[in-house]
Amino acid sequence: MPHRPHLAQLRRLLLLPCSSVPVPVPARRLSSPRAMASSSVSAAAAAAQAGGAVAAAEYEDVMGRLSSLITQKVRAHSGNRGNQWDLMAHYLQILELEEPIARMKVIHVAGTKGKGSTCTFTEAILRSCGFSTGLFTSPHLMDVRERFRLNGVDISEEKFLKYFWWCWNKLKEKTDDDIPMPTYFRFLALLAFKIFSAEQVDVAVLEVGLGGKFDATNVVEAPVVCGIASLGYDHMEILGNTLGEIAGEKAGIFKKGVPAYTAPQPEEAMIALKQRASELGVSLQVAHPLEPHQLKDQHLGLRGEHQYVNAGLAVALASTWLEKQGHVERIPLNRTDPLPDQFISGLSNAYLQGRAQIITDSQVNSGEEDKDCSLVFYLDGAHSPESMEICARWFSHVTKEDRTVPSSMVQSQSCGNSQKILLFNCMSVRDPMRLLPHLLDTLTQNGVHFDMALFVPNQSQYNKLGTNSSAPAEPEQIDLSWQLSLQRVWQKLLHGDKGMNNTNSSENSLVFESLPLAMEWLRTNARQNRSTSFQVLVTGSLHLVGDVLRLVKK
516-525 pLDDT, tens digit each: 999 999 999 9
Lowest mean pLDDT among 53-62, 102-111, 207-216, 400-409: 400-409
Residue 56, phi then psi, degrees to nearest 5 = -65, -40
Q: Domain ranges for the chain, please list them.
A: 82-349, 357-402+415-466+479-553
Average pLDDT (270-279) is 96
How many Å apart are CA 321 and CA 325, to the nearest integer? 6
Distance CA 126, CA 370 (A): 43
- Identical fold for domains 82-349 and 357-402+415-466+479-553, yes or no, is no
The secondary structure of 181-194 as a DSSP string is PPPHHHHHHHHHHH
* Binding positions for ATP: 355, 380
Question: Is the pLDDT assigned to residue 130 strictly greater than 90?
Answer: yes
User: SS3 for 360?
Assistant: strand
386 pLDDT band, cuts 50/70/90, is confident
Q: How far apart are CA 365 and CA 524, in angstroms?
A: 12
This model's pTM is above 0.85: no
Distance CA 64, CA 71 (A): 13
Average of per-residue pLDDT across 68-74: 69
Alpha-helix residue ranges (DSSP H) falling in 151-198: 157-174, 184-198
Q: Measured on CA atoms in the order 349, 289, 422, 143, is the torsion positive or negative?
A: positive
Q: CA angle, corner 241, sides to 240 and 244, nearest 5?
A: 75
Is residue 496 left, alpha or beta, with left meaning phi > 0 and alpha meaning psi from -120 to 50?
left
* Nearest C-alpha neighbor of 433 from the set 385, 401, 389: 385
Binding site for Mg(2+): residue ranges? 138, 207, 235
pLDDT, one tens digit per residue, over 226-254 is 999 999 876 555 555 689 999 999 999 99
Residue 152 has pLDDT above 90, yes or no: yes
pLDDT band at 210 (very low <50, low <70, confident <90, very high): confident
Binding-site residues sit at 138, 207, 235, 355, 380
> What would you measure as the largest C-alpha separation in the chain, in angstroms?
91
Residue-wise pLDDT for 292-314, tens only, equals 999 999 999 998 888 999 999 99
Q: Which residues pair with 359 in a beta bridge?
A: 377
User: What is the sign, positive or negative, of the torsion defined by CA atoms of 179, 95, 161, 75?
Assistant: positive
Distance between CA atoms of residues 526 and 514, nearest Å: 19
CATH, domain 357-402+415-466+479-553, list 3.90.190.20, 3.40.30.10, 3.30.70.20, 1.20.210.10: 3.90.190.20
CA distance 452 to 315: 40
Q: What is the 3-state secondary structure (H, E, C) of 220-246?
A: CCCCCEEEECECCCCCHHHHCCCHHHH
Residue 73 has pLDDT above 80, yes or no: no
Per residue in 313-344, pLDDT tens? 999 999 999 999 999 988 987 878 999 999 99
Sheet bearing 225-228, strands edge to edge: 153-154, 148-150, 133-136, 203-207, 106-110, 225-228, 260-262, 284-286
Cross-strand partners of 539 = 424
Three-state DSSP string of 425-446: CCCCCCCHHHHHHHHHHHHHHC
CATH topology of domain 82-349: UDP-N-acetylmuramoyl-L-alanine:D-glutamate ligase (3.40.1190)
**pLDDT value of position 16:** 36
> In this predicted model, what pLDDT tens digit does every residue of 406-434 receive, in sequence order?
444 444 444 568 899 999 999 888 889 98
Q: Residue 257 contacts by C-beta under 8 Å, 6 or more apart in sequence?
A: 281, 282
Alpha-carbon distance of 243 to 228, in angstroms, equals: 13
Q: Is 475 within 8 Å of 513 (Cβ atoms)?
A: yes
